[in-house]
Amino acid sequence: MHTVPPLSITEFAAKLTAQLIKRYPPELDNQPAKRPSVNRLARILEDACDKVVEYQAQMKLGWFGKARLSNKFRWNLLEAGYSKDFVKFATEAIVVHISRKSVDT
């Protein structure tokens, strides 16, 4: 029986960014008239945060791993062409969710 090895932090951040790009392309972020509703954007980010929390629980990331993950995600978003405001907001959401879930468990 083959088990799938867990994704590295770099691979996971790339996969998470790709999923976000698919649901909320950078082009929409840079055109205010075409942005989705606040509720839809909140759901997209919440889904991303849930995936990060699952990954964190699976990998048992410490503070260094959490920092690496959030920084990798941030840099991937910037490289994809998202605005600095969105990148800051999305990264902070990830950090808050990881921190909160770590304290809860």
pLDDT digits (tens, 9 = 90+) for 18-35: 999 999 999 998 888 888
Asked whether the CA dihedral 68, 87, 7, 63 is positive or negative, the reply is positive
100 domain-assigned: yes
4 domain-assigned: no
1 domain-assigned: no
CB-side neighbour CA atoms (13 Å) of 1: 1
Contact residues for 86 (Cβ-Cβ < 8 A; gap 6+):
29, 77
75 domain-assigned: yes
The total domain count for the chain is 1
73 domain-assigned: yes
86 domain-assigned: yes
pLDDT at 4 (0 to 100)? 55
Q: Could you list the residue range(s) of the whole structural domain that residue 20 is in?
A: 9-104
pLDDT at 78 (0 to 100)? 97
pTM of the model: 0.86
C-alpha–C-alpha distance, residues 58 and 101, integer Å:
13
End-to-end CA distance of the chain: 31
Q: Under a CB-based contact definition with an 8 Å cutoff, are residues 89 and 33 in contact?
A: no
Q: pLDDT of 38-95, one tens digit each?
A: 899 999 999 999 999 999 999 999 999 999 999 999 999 999 999 999 999 999 999 9
2 domain-assigned: no
